[in-house]
Each structure stands twice: as structure tokens, then as C-alpha cells.
Amino acid sequence: MNRKVSVKYLGLVDYKKAWDYQESLFNNVVEAKQANREQKEKRPTPNYLLFCQHPHVYTLGKSGKDSNLLISQDFLKSKGASLYHINRGGDITYHGPGQIVSYPILDLDNFGLSIKSYIHKLEEVIIRSMARYGITATRLEGATGVWLDADNTANARKICAIGVRTSHWVSMHGFALNVNTDLAYFDYIVPCGITGKAVTSMQKELGKEMNPDEVSNILLEEFEKVFGMEIIRKQ
């Protein structure tokens, strides 16, 4: 099993450009797996981990409802935002500057993971990373993502959304962690299709602007520990 993972930082990148890049890497991994089934000599399948930020954009997953976008297309454009219907699970979410988005394109067979255990490990990466900043984050029964005060119905708030796609046991899409995110953009949607729950950020919880590069490095360190990865850094 190949646990080497190539890490790439894309910076602030258009959502569609990043999505196309994900698809190309995803297809590379799937094709490598399919080739191995046909060959006697097996070659290691690659793994990738992308970090980036996006300009203002809303993405609606396969099971999402258009009604969870609460504004018109004209108002959407006036806010400098765009909307994409995409092929991950889950409902609607927001991406924007100040939010760290990570896209793991992994052969889950390399890590001995089911889809359920993969999502659990993604959540664990976030939970451990938040603990390093003194933020107590947990899971919420019946919902993906990472939450604060999950056991307090009146005060539960999401700090990280998770939405993935898998095919042939290869993953794509991933998570969006609110670091210095402008939370006002969440007012225009029903985040992840869940009503009555708030959204928060590291900046809001800690009362100061965070260093995104530092947060990304901590996330990467926790990825290494939780998944048992061997990281290969690329720019």
C-alpha cells in the first residue's frame, strides 16, 4: 500500500479551475487502479492532497435543494459570488477568502479505509487541529462536519463542512474550514441544508485574525498522524 501523498498549495484559485484539476488527478488515480487489475506487476497508485482558498462561491451537492440558496441570481452576482452544482454528497455550502479548503484525492485502499472511516478521519484531523488552538471541537450526531458545543442545541455551531465523492474507492472534494471567513455569506443559504444551526470561524472564536499558512501546516501535521501518511511537499 502506497501511503506517500503529494501535497500542493494552490493559493486563491477559481473554483472551477480547482475542480477541473481535482478531476484530472482523480482520473489518474482511478486509471492507475484499473490498470493494476489488468497487469501482473502492480504499480503503486498515487495520492494527492490539495490546499487552497476560493473567491466567493456556493456549491450545491447532488442531494442538495436549490431552495437552500436564499437569494436570487441577480443578488448573487451583486455579492461577487457564483454557484456550481457539483458531484459531491451533501447540500449547499459556501467557500470564500479566509477559508481553508482541502481536497484529498486518495486511493482509500492504500489506507485500508471504508468511506465511513475516511470521513471519520477527516473529522478527526479538524478536531485535533482545533485542539491545538484551544478550541474544543466535536462531531454532531447525524451530521457530517465538525462542530462546537454540539451537545447544546441552542448554541451548536459548525466550524468545518465536509462533503466528499468516492468512486472505485478513490476520494475527491473534501473539507472547508472557516479560519478568517466572512460569515455573512452564510446568511444567504441554509448551510448544508440544516436549519437552526449557526456557523462560526476560528477568528470569531479566538477573537483575532489567524495565519492561514500556519493553520494549513497544522492541518497537514494532523493528516500525517491520523492517516499515517508520508508527505511529499510540492509548490
52 part of the active site: no
pTM: 0.92
Report DSSP letters for the chain, one per residue. Answer: ---EEEEEEEEE--HHHHHHHHHHHHHHHHHHHHHHHH-SS--PPP-EEEEEE-SSEEEE-TT--GGGB-S-HHHHHHTT-EEEE-SSSS-EEEE-TTEEEEEEE-BGGGGT--HHHHHHHHHHHHHHHHHTTT---EEETTEEEEEESTT-TTT-EEEEEEEEEEETTEEEEEEEEESS--GGGGGGB-GGG-TT-EE--HHHHHTS---HHHHHHHHHHHHHHHHT-EEEEE-
Of 29, 192, 219, 226, the active-site residue reads: 192
**For residue range 131-165, what is the model confidence (pLDDT) as tens digits?**
999 999 999 988 889 999 988 878 899 999 999 99
Mean pLDDT of the chain: 91
**For residue range 32-51, what is the model confidence (pLDDT) as tens digits?**
998 888 887 788 999 999 99
What residue ranges define each of the domains in the chain, with the CATH number in brackets? 4-234 (3.30.930.10)
